Amino acid sequence: MTLRIAVQSKGRLFEETMELLQESGIKLNNKKRTLLVPATDFPIEILFLRDDDIPQAVATGVADIGIVGENEFVEKNEKASIVKRLGFSKCRLSLAIPKDEKYEGNKWFNNKKIATSYPHILKQYLESNNLNAEIHVITGSVEISPSIGLADAIFDIVSSGGTLVSNRLTEVEVVMKSEALLISNSELDEEKKNVLNELLFRIEAIQAAQNKKYIVLNAPEDKVQDIFDVLPGMRSPTVTPLATTGWCSVQSVVDEKRFWEIISKLKALGAEGILVLPIEKMIL
């Protein structure tokens, strides 16, 4: 039984999705990409679509699962289930106005015209904030709308903010944050669910290793308990006696965000020969 996964055909989300699938051990059958490409060693096939077509494809069963931006999933409002948040391709949907405009709150948008490719999400925001604005639906270069007199403001995806700056726009309201989602058709049979569960297992092993470092160090035995307090690891650090009397080797996993803080504490406790290794995958 083959599981069909819909994937964006180009762009940053495409690149990060293909990287995730590759790290999950999924290899495609041919180097020349066509609309539908089977994997060689895993019961899955990749269906390449436009990002805004993926929610409907999954909801109607054209694809069994899909990886899509949360912004498109919410905008299309299709009946598909969120299986997992994937944590990459992060961006936000924001309202932006011309740089020279004075802004003192979202009441500014009353009686204004807003250009967007996300009318459903924008309509919900306006209604929830009791705002009365005209929505002008546009595809393509939304950010140029104010400069050519097509709209007073825009509602669009923002990543770095560079595009807004280059068009003399200022981001004034973040309406929602978005990331890549793994979504599923609600009527998968048991065989396809088993394939999906295996895929999830692989993805979770990759995610568990992200922003983690594996460290090995030598330490005095009388400092082991103090080192335990610094290195909690997944459950507890691994300790191995060394040939040198009174010394042992300690192994653990640390969060990269606290790496230098932890290393400083270890050195203060007498740790030596600290070896730091990247982690590719981690099975919890």
> What tens digit of pLDDT does each residue of 150-196 get?
999 999 999 888 899 999 999 999 999 999 999 999 999 999 999 99
Domains of the chain in sequence order: 3-89+179-208 (3.40.190.10), 91-178 (3.40.190.10), 211-278 (3.30.70.120)
Residue with tokens 């993805």: 203
Q: How many helices (H) and strands (E) does the chain have?
A: 8, 15
Spatial neighbors of 241 by CB under 8 A, at least 6 apart, are 248, 249
Q: What are phi and psi of 39, to 5 degrees?
A: -85, 155
Instruction: Name the band, by pLDDT with cuts 50, 70 and 90, for residue 228.
Output: confident
Q: What are the tens digits of pLDDT across the range 240-269?
A: 999 889 999 999 888 888 889 999 999 999
Cα 263 to its chain centre, rounded Å, is 29
C-alpha dihedral (155, 157, 163, 164), degrees to nearest 10: 30
Query: In the prediction, which pLDDT does 28 show?
Result: 85
